[in-house]
Amino acid sequence: STTGDKINQVSSSSGVVYVHSEQLIRLCDTLLKVPKRAGMVHSLLEAYGLLQNMTVLPPHRTTKEDLTVFHSQDFVDCLERLNQEDDSEKNEELKQQFGLGYDCPTIPHVFDFVCLAAGATLRAAQALVNGESRVAINWCGGWHHAKRDEASGFCYVNDVVLGILKLREKFDRVLYLDLDLHHGDGVEDAFCYTPKVLTCSFHKYCPGFFPGTGSVDDVGIGKGKFYSVNVPLKDGIQDNQYFSVFCRVVDQLKQCYNPSAIVVQCGADTLADDPMQSFNMTPTGLARCLHHVVSAWQLPTLLLGGGGYRLANTARCWANLTATVLGCRLPAEIPEHEHFLEYGPDYQLDVSPTHRPNLNTDEYIEKTIAAITENLEKIS
C-alpha cells in the first residue's frame, strides 16, 4: 500500500542511526555538570517526532578490552574499582592519580557510565563501518578531554578517540571537527603523531581558559605535523562570522586532505546564554555549519555531543542538528512533553544572541586564517 511504501521510504532514505537506551540516559543524567540533560535531549527529539525517521539502536556494552584500545589498563581498573560509591581514604590517593578529583568527581556507577557512553559511540561508529547508515548520532558522547590514563574536564572516558579508532578499521583518513567551546585536547593528543586522523578544533583560546592548549601554532608532531589544526577564537563570536571562518577552514581541509569519514563533536557551550558566558552562537548558526559538511560532502559522518550547560538550550541545539541531518524543518514552538516547562518563558526552539562585545576583529580572523592556510599548504 502507498502508506507502507511511504513509511519504508522515510526510514531507508534518512539513513540516520541514533544510539539510545533508557540505561544510557539514566547514567548520563547523573553527571554532575549536566544533570538530567541526556533525558531532556532524548525527550525533545521524541516530542518533535524525530525518532520515527531514524533507526534507533542500543549501545554496545563495552568490555575492559574495548576501553584499553586507548585507555591504560591501570586507569580502566581504577574506574572499575570506583564503580561502587566508595569514599574510603585509600581511594582518595588513587583518585588523585587518575584525575578523579576536582573536575571529575567520581559519580556513582562511574564504570557503568563509561562503558555505556563509550559503547554508544562505538555502536554508532560500527553502523558507519558496516554501512548500516551514512550518519550516526550519539548525543551522550563527545567527551573530548579524557586522556589515556587520566580523567579531565568532566570527561571520564574519551569515547571520541575510541570511535575514531573504530572508524579507522575501514576508513583510511578520518577528519575530526570539534565545535565545542573548549579545545579538543584529548583527541588532538591521541592523534598528533599520525596523518591518518586530521583533528581540527574551533575553540575559545585566551590566557587562563581551560584547557589552555590549542594555539594556531599547535600543528602536530613528526608524521602528524600539519595534521592538527587549531582555530583559536575570542569571546563574543556570532553565527555569521563563525560560519565564515568555519567554511574557509573546512573547505581547505576537504580539498587538501580529502577525508573518507568525518566525526563532529557538537558541544553546545558556544551558545549565547551558556553559563560559560563566552561565545554568542545560536542553534541555527551551528546547524548551518553542520549542514555545510554533512549534507554537502555526503561522507560517512559520526555526530557526538559534548559541553552545553544551559540544559534546555543544549536540547534545542541538538534537536535542531538532528533535524538538519534528517532534512526536516521543526515547528518553532516547543511541543508539549515531560520537560516542557524548562523551555519557558518563550517555549520557542530558537535562541537569540545576547548583546555582548565581539572581540574577534576582522584583522585577528584574517591573521588566524592566513596562518592556518600557510600550514595546510604543507599537506596539499
Ligand X SMILES: CN(c1ccc(C(=O)NO)cc1)S(=O)(=O)c1ccc(-c2ccccn2)s1
Q: Which of residues 265-304 bind Zn ion (CB under 5 A)?
A: 267, 269
Contact present, 313 and 351 (Cβ < 8 Å)? yes
By CB under 6 A, the residues from 130 to 149 that bind ligand X are: 145
Closest residue to ligand X, judged by C-beta, is 307
DSSP assignment of 67-132 equals: HTTTS-HHHHHHHHHTTS----HHHHHHHHHTT-SSSSPPPTTHHHHHHHHHHHHHHHHHHHHHTS
Q: Find the shortest distance in angstroms from Cβ 172 to ligand X.
A: 28
Name, in order, each residue with C-beta under 8 angstroms of 106's C-beta and a sequence gap of 6 or more.
82, 85, 95, 100
Among residues 75 and 154, whose Cβ is nearest to ligand X?
Answer: 154
| Contact set for Zn ion, span 156-195 (CB under 5 A) | 180-182
The phi and psi torsions of 152 (rounded to 5 degrees) equal: -160, 145
| Active site (catalytic) residues | 145
Which of Zn ion, ligand X, none binds 275 (CB below 5-8 Å, type-dependent)? ligand X
Q: Which residues, numbered 246-285, are part of the site for ligand X (CB under 6 A)?
A: 267, 269, 275-276
Per rule CB under 5 A, is residue 305 in the interface with Zn ion? no
Q: Judged by CB, which is closer to Zn ion: 141, or 259? A: 141
- Please count the helices (runs of H) and the strands (runs of E) in the chain: 13, 8
Site string for Zn ion, 48-87 (x = CB under 5 A): ----------------------------------------
Q: For residue 342, what is its C-alpha cell?
A: 524548562
Bridge-based pairing of strands 135-138 and 301-304 is parallel
When CB distances are held under 5 to 8 angstroms depending on the partner's kind, the choice from Zn ion, ligand X, none that residue 297 binds is none
| Pairwise CA distance, residues 105 & 84, whole Å | 13
If we measure between CA atoms, which residue out of 331, 301, 300, 306 comes closest to residue 318?
A: 306
The entry of ligand X, Zn ion, none near residue 327 (CB within 5 to 8 angstroms by kind) is none
Residue with Cβ nearer ligand X (134 or 144): 144
- Contact predicate 25/39, CB 8 Å: yes
Paired strand residues for 281: 271
Please choose, out of 39-47, 114-122, 306-314, 317-325, the segment that lies near Zn ion by the rule CB under 5 A: 306-314
Binding residue for ligand X, selected from 103, 149, 235, 273, defined by CB under 6 A: 103
Q: Specify the amino acid at residue 30.
A: T
Q: Return residues touching ligand X (CB under 6 A).
A: 103, 145, 153-154, 180, 182, 210, 267, 269, 275-276, 306-307
